[in-house]
Structure 1
Amino acid sequence: MEYSINTRPLLQDSDTENEDIITQSYEETSVSVQNDKPLFKPPEPKDKYHMAYIIFYILGITTLLPWNFFITADDYWMYKFRDTTANLSSSYDKRTPLQAEFTSYLSLASSVPNILFLVLNTALNHKVSVQKRVIGSLIVMLILFIVTTVFVNIDTDKYQDKFFIITITCVVLLNISSAILSGSIFGIMGKFSPKYITATIGGQALGGIFAAIAQIISLTLGVSSVHSAFVYFMVGNTMIFITLISYVILSKTVFFKYHISEKTGITLNEFQNELVRPRIVDHKLILKKIFPYGTSVFLVFLISLSCYPGLTVLIESQNHGNGDPWADVYFVPVIAYLLFSTGDYIGRLLAGKIQKPRRGIWIVLLTVLRIVFIPLLIFSNAQPREHLPVLFHKDYEYIMILFVFALTNGYLANLSLICAPRVVDHHEKETASSMMTVFLGIGLAIGAAISLLIVKVI
């Protein structure tokens, strides 16, 4: 009888045929733990000088920058598409077809590509690196904003139709880039703590505040619509460039790489689970896990967009028409835009601090209760109206309603986006957060469509 002695080191990789078969069978159903992956998670690096926090704020501002700046420059678009055969004062009394239809086309050109590419980004986020998606989308946005800025000082009166097509094309491409940027940023932020999720979400609301302040300053200084638009778009160019440089800097930090890398260490329990559980991104399973939070985000923005800004911009001060500058000039930009954006911003910050309730069913219930704001705003002093009476005549009544409306929008939206990544596994967080942006985008689109119906109903 012959005895063979196994002299192979205990931890040496197996090279026998049977073991190869077993290994191959296992790899077909799961992703095995790599040899260079530590067993325990190393301590989290510090966010030096709060650099990552600030950059996430900047990224949040930039995700909604195209929408905020194009909407704010409404006077500029009205000037570009005016009746050039009439004098300047009378050209605003009766809108041309391009003037009347531009906002609707702007909404359509924003919402449709936004939804399509949010879905596409979710499907491809594991096939195209986040670095390429973020940097590529920012470069395209910068080029398109430069093109838009150049056209500000070009006389387009003789080819308004062509300029209209060029502008809408730029809007479509901008929103494609914005959707890819938003989906990518929301995807990676799900891997960070709620503090950084709040920074990104808060940045979106802060962008609305900046746009509203810029509009108010322009009204105060009496700046022409062309000069205002030039300033808006130059600020946009600068902001996108700063965001691009900031993201490149962020992506090179140890803090960022620690959270993004799939090879960071794991706990003992997670290690044991990974041995028996496949690391496969199952979109249906992720959707099932986050569905309550996705439903909440969908309803939050559906309800909000059904009234803001389509209905709220029509609500006038009780003293409108009396020659009071506050009532006639500043009421709508200060209340409808600045107050709403401020309340929205405060709500998002509060959600980052309080984070209650956390169960999806309770968040959905609170979101459904927000439907009450739709009739409250419909019966405020929106003008003109033909069918429904005004029940809330006083300015303070409308201001209180709008502020709570904005506060709950920010709070519930941020709370849902914070809670969703917590109910999925680590390797599912990016996909889950990207899916949340799809719910958000669909809510925005349907809400905007409902807004058109509400305006006709009143």
Structure 2
Amino acid sequence: MLLKKSTDNKIYDYNERSVLFSTSTENKLYCIMENPGSNLEKSQDALVVPREEKSVFIYLFFYFVGLTILFPYSMLITINDFWNYKFRDTSIEYNSTNDELTELQKSFPGFLSISGNVPLTVLSIVTALFGNFFNIKTRLLVSAVLMGLAFGGTTVISGLNTDSWQNTAFILIMVINSCYSAINAVFQTSFLGNLGRFPPRYIGCTNDGMGLGATLPAIINIIIIATKPDRELVGLLCMIFGVLVIFVQLILYIFASRTEFYIHYAGINESVRNTIDYKSYVMVFKAIWIYILGML
């Protein structure tokens, strides 16, 4: 078995990412190089999980990122009553006996879905193909900042009195939502693609966070409505929560990306590839084509 010495006390597997155990008897790091036929005998004082993997901060960070991926957009589509109020017929009293919806009210959910899903799909494919040309940390930081700014733009519009320029507000929201979804596609494709390099528990907690990110907006909306604020404030308060979640996630990433554990697994210091490995994409497609077919 081929070993390489270093200056720590942990032992990594052959791909130098998954920590097998650490020993306290020697202040050395042994990195197991590729040797398919070898067996590793653990010492009596071996630890199954390294100290970094036990960090509550890192674990919660992954959970929060999963939440952030879905939380803002879920909040946007949850406050449907607010958008109906925003694009109401201003010539009559809101919630009057006239139940006829305006054209903007009828069109808003459909256009919001189209303006969000089309850029999301396109940019996810583009990022998967060409994202490797840029460092993972750069992609995540830049996209997180732009996500916050884009969602902040929608938040500003939601807080303004748009009764006299509803059509313009409608178009602006759709344009900004398209920008946000495109940026979000870059972020989530980069993060989730890189997530496969981490131990299984971090993959699991990220998925759990995404589940909460899809349901938490409805809970927050109910709580806000229960306080009986003005109709104009309901949407604004909910949207502000979305902006806060994005920027809290940005701050957490800045700290997490400086930890030895995240740098090692994420490959932040690895050189950027300037070529596209089409063989890898073909191999992945062959492995998942049945699942793609099932979604069609």
Give the TM-score normalised by structure 2. Answer: 0.76
Q: Does 1:40 align with 2:32?
A: yes
Q: Which residue does 1:118 correspond to in 2?
A: 124
Give the deviation of 1:224 after TM superposition: 4.0
1:155 is displaced (CA, Å) by 1.1
**One of 143, 150, 168 as aligned partner of 1:144:** 150
Aligned mates of 1:298, 1:179 — CA distance in 2: 22
Which residue, 201, 212, 217 being the options, matches 2:207?
Answer: 201
Matching residue of 1:325: none
- Identify the residue that residue 58 of structure 2 maps to in structure 1: 52
- C-alpha distance 262-180 of structure 1, shift in aligned 2 (>3 A): closer
CA offsets 1:390-428 (integer angstroms, 9 cap, x no match): xxxxxxxxxxxxxxxxxxxxxxxxxxxxxxxxxxxxxxx
Residue 283 of structure 2: which of 279, 284, 288 is its match?
A: 288
Aligned length: 248
Q: Is the CA contact (8 Å cut-off) linking 2:135 and 2:268 kept in structure 1? A: no
Aligned amino acid, residue 125 of structure 1: G
**What letter is aligned with 1:132?**
T
Name the CA shift for 1:282/1:45 in 2 (closer, same or farther; >3 Å): farther
**Contact conserved, 2:120 with 2:182, CA < 8 A, in 1?**
yes
Contact 2:225–2:234 under 8 Å retained in 1: no
Gaps of 5+ in 2: 1-29, 34-48
Contact kept in structure 1, 2:263 and 2:269, CA below 8 Å: no
Cα deviation, 1:138-179, whole Å, max 9, x if unaligned, reads 111111222222223311111111101110011001101110
Cα distance in 1, alignment partners of residues 183 and 134 from structure 2: 15
Report the counterpart of residue 8 of structure 2 in structure 1.
none
- The letter for the 1-side match of 2:137 is Q
Rounded to whole Å, the distance in 1 between the matches of 2:289 and 2:200 is 17
1:298 Cα deviation after fit: 6.8
Query: Do the aligned partners of 1:84 and 1:91 also contact (CA within 8 Å) in 2?
Result: no
**Structure with the greater alpha carbon radius of gyration:** 1
Q: What's the secondary structure of 1:136's corresponding residue?
A: helix
Alignment match, 2:198: 192
- Identical-residue share of aligned pairs (%): 27
Pairwise CA distance, 1:282: 2.8
Bigger helix fraction: 1
Mapped to 2, the partners of 1:294 and 1:187 lie a distance apart of 18
* TM superposition shift of 1:229: 1.1
1:44 Cα shift?
5.4
Give yes or no for contact 1:56–1:199 (8 Å, CA) kept in 2.
Answer: yes
Offset at residue 281 of structure 1 (A): 5.7
Counterpart among 151, 158, 163 of residue 164 in structure 2: 158
Please report the TM-score for the alignment, with normalisation by the length of structure 1: 0.50
Q: Secondary structure at the match of 1:119?
A: helix
Unaligned ranges ≥5, structure 1 = 1-37, 265-279, 303-442, 444-458
Q: For residues 295 and 179 of structure 1, do their structure 2 counterparts lie closer, same or farther at Cα, with a shift above 3 Å needed?
A: farther
How far apart in 2 are the matches of 1:242 and 1:288?
Answer: 37
**Equivalent residue, structure 2, for 1:74:** 80
**Which residue number corresponds to residue 86 of structure 1?**
92
Write the distance in 1 (CA, Å) between the matches of 2:96 and 2:72. 30
